[in-house]
Structure 1
Amino acid sequence: MHLLPALAATLSPPVMQARTWLEGVNFPPERPLLNLSQAAPVAPPPPELQDAMRDALRDPATHLYGPVLGLPELRDALARNIRNHYGGQIAANQIAITSGCNQAFCAAIASLAGPGDAVILPTPWYFNHAMWLQMQGIDATTLPCGSDMLPDPDLAATLITPATRAIVLVTPNNPTGVEYPPALIAAFRDLARTRGLALIIDETYRDFHSQDGAPHTLFTDPDWDDTLIHLYSFSKSFRLTGHRVGALATNPARLAQIEKFLDTVTICPTALGQRAALWGLEHLGDWLAGERLEILHRRAALQDGFAHLSEWGLKGCGAYFGYVAHPFAMDAAELAQKLVTTASLLVLPGSMFTPTDDPKGARHLRIAFANADCDGIAELTQRLGKLDL
């Protein structure tokens, strides 16, 4: 059987791999499984949004192909939302709706780079970004973050070569949870602009940022779209993960090329998911604000819990994530599997977010607390404190 070598060499989906660790394991009633592996809410959309989706199903247009770049009314509503959130100017013709934010990233890369080109990724990285680059024969140039889990634009500048096409940032970050300061984001924009690169910023978790108001000022630059490619997701904000609705903002000329990619891959985003996202933008502002406060409470609970675990180190915490340095001699991949049977905990090892030759991955774990309330987080830290491995 012939397989494309670049695809065969790409790592397997980490979350799916971690789920296999649960096979055949029986969890005692007094210590049920805490699944902290995936950054996706398992609760359904709020009831009023479910009602709106049922109404949309009765509209014959919901079941037809739609525009490749998304419903015009959703593109317009998201442009208005971005203007309100960040300030500055953005129009509907600078936005594409995609089948999830992963597809938005793939579409952006398809317009920028191909085999033999390079894209700079801070490490630890979001594994699907690295996977897509590897599949396409694009070099993922690693930019190691410092002990504060922040990437350094000066270090990034030394990594740029004639093959480099873009720099990628994820903020709030997956896997570390760290929120990049506005000045740091602006510095990366300036670097990318000066060197003729694109700056791709994935803000999937924007709506759970701890800062009130705009997390950066990039959209206030009237020429933002000459450098910035902005990615967003409705999946986490409105609990629409299974409906796959994301978005991409850039200049109209690039969108004309991205349209070719999207038409070839999915033809159009799902109409039901888009209508749900539109209804959410128009009606769920207060509900989403409450969701954000709950996530901030969980963040505080995780910080408080690890403050009492002196041998552990909470390196980053925000959005849905905590990134922790563990105190054991074993590799994080081995530790993560042992935690399933010894503590009924499912978390991901840092090695799933780093290149195979990066020793830092072996020292860290990612905790995704989207589906753990404050009591569950307290239970997590209590179990970690009792470990005897």
Structure 2
Amino acid sequence: MPRISQRIGSIAESATLAVDAKAKALKAAGRPVIGFGAGEPDFPTPGYIVDAAVDAARQPRYHRYSPAAGLPELRAAIAEKTRRDSGYVVDPSQVLVTNGGKQAVYEAFATLLDPGDEVLVPTPYWTTYPEAIRLAGGVPVDVFAGPDQGYLVSVDQLEAARTERTKILLFVSPSNPTGAVYSPEQVTAIGQWAAANGLWVVTDEIYEHLTYDGVPFTSIATAVPELGDRVVVLNGVAKTYAMTGWRVGWMIGPADVIKAATNLQSHATSNVANVSQIAALAAVSGPLTAVDEMKVAFDRRRKAIVAGLNAIEGVDCPTPHGAFYAYADVRGLLGKDLGGVRPETSAELAALILDKVEVAVVPGEAFGPSGYLRLSYALGDEDLAEGIRRLQEFLGTAR
């Protein structure tokens, strides 16, 4: 009999974490690697959040188990933060605090899907979505939109992909990996289409505060009230507050869905670490001043990385309007001679770049079709400039 179950053996390693781990291992070995892999702000968590956690760590009541769904005061604060930031009104009982955003993603699909149910996945997608869908017994259905569409899927594309087995539309704006942001009109049209077809919408809003050029964030839950109780909102503190390591996310949905997901979590992990929950409470209840300061730096880096990538012949990088990723079309480089090697896929190209110039990027295969590279610009200005210089020097030799 096989040692590993088919269900777990079929899961691919997180490509973004794998690239980040390899880059960090090379750095630890003394190599001057520039890492564009992980979507992790280079800023420290704001001081007032750390202070709240330190204070909580000294209080014995936070040394014990707490409710699996989350501390009541944090659930209430998340409900209020959601109303404040997106206009979506929910009761604290509709909030489940999870161990990071990934657990919220997994539990949403595990709670809603039965074997064979289909999920429409706008592509390029974050690498974890299809794996979480498959773990729940569902079937991810890619709906691809390329750079000619600004990486934004249309209602017509979604309708063409819909079948009698379609149960959920996954909706992500701003997008990881592309940084694309749907306009209010596009959000409304897609939401109305989903509602008219009786679909659930699972919307990941973790980049809600990271938009640029005056482009607004629009929550599909607020824009399309006719979705009613068939919408699940995923979010967390990781990206907005530079808290990737604190591991606090949440899931918002109808009371019966949240109760079922809480039952799952009660057997899987129980409560999120209480000190992290208190840190998250300080984050979501506090001002967005630190967030705005970080966004100024992200915006500066966004402009620099897009200009630098587009200066390379064979690379086409649309300007992202959200998150902190540039998604470059590198199909023009495939098959070209790069230092005596002719990469045929973006995976081969990414491996070659890491080997030759010690720059870590994530290939398009992690997010859907080959032919693209994702670069996070949530790293320091000096590292970004040096990384782009190395890419220009190496890729500029393509023939």
Give the TM-score taking structure 2 as reference length: 0.88
- The residue correspondences of 1:229-248 to structure 2 (distance < 5 A) are 229-248=232-251
Q: Which of residues 354, 358, 361 is equivalent to 1:347?
A: 361
Q: What SS does the corresponding residue of 1:207 show, helix, strand or coil?
A: coil
Q: CA deviation at 1:90?
A: 2.5
Q: Does the aligned pair in 1 maintain the 2:114–2:136 contact within 8 Å? A: yes
- Gaps of at least 5 residues in structure 1 are 355-360
Q: What SS does the corresponding residue of 1:11 show, helix, strand or coil?
A: coil
| Aligned twin of 1:265 | 268
Q: What SS does the corresponding residue of 1:313 show, helix, strand or coil?
A: coil
Q: What SS does the corresponding residue of 1:97 show, helix, strand or coil?
A: strand
Q: CA deviation at 1:52?
A: 1.8
Q: CA deviation at 1:252?
A: 1.4
Q: What SS does the corresponding residue of 2:193 show, helix, strand or coil?
A: helix
- The residue correspondences of 1:132-151 to structure 2 (distance < 5 A) are 132-146=132-146, 147=148, 148-151=150-153
Q: Name the aligned partner's letter for residue 322 of structure 1.
A: A
| Aligned twin of 1:358 | none
| Aligned twin of 2:373 | 365
CA distance in 1, matches of 2:291, 2:66: 27
CA distance in 2, matches of 1:23, 1:277: 27
Q: Does the aligned pair in 2 maintain the 1:349–1:366 contact within 8 Å? A: yes
| Aligned twin of 1:226 | 229
CA distance in 2, matches of 1:230, 1:151: 20
Q: CA deviation at 1:220?
A: 5.6
- Gaps of at least 5 residues in structure 2 are 336-342
Change (3 A) 1:43 1:280: same
CA distance in 2, matches of 1:140, 1:24: 33
Name the Cα RMSD after superposition: 2.4
Q: What SS does the corresponding residue of 2:112 show, helix, strand or coil?
A: coil
| Aligned twin of 2:100 | 100
- Aligned-residue identity in percent: 25
C-alpha deviations, 1:137-168, integer Å up to 9, x for none? 32111111142201122211122222211010
Q: Name the aligned partner's letter for residue 360 of structure 2.
A: L
| Aligned twin of 2:351 | 337
Change (3 A) 1:239 1:378: same
Q: CA deviation at 1:93?
A: 2.3
User: Which moves more between the two structures, 17-26 or 72-81?
Assistant: 17-26
CA distance in 2, matches of 1:283, 1:17: 34
Q: CA deviation at 1:336?
A: 0.7
Q: CA deviation at 1:96?
A: 1.7
CA distance in 2, matches of 1:285, 1:57: 24
Give the TM-score taking structure 1 as reference length: 0.90
Change (3 A) 1:335 1:95: same
Change (3 A) 1:256 1:284: same
The yes-or-no answer on 1:315 pairing with 2:318 is yes
The yes-or-no answer on 1:13 pairing with 2:14 is yes
CA distance in 1, matches of 2:96, 2:5: 30
| Aligned twin of 1:357 | none
Q: CA deviation at 1:192?
A: 1.7
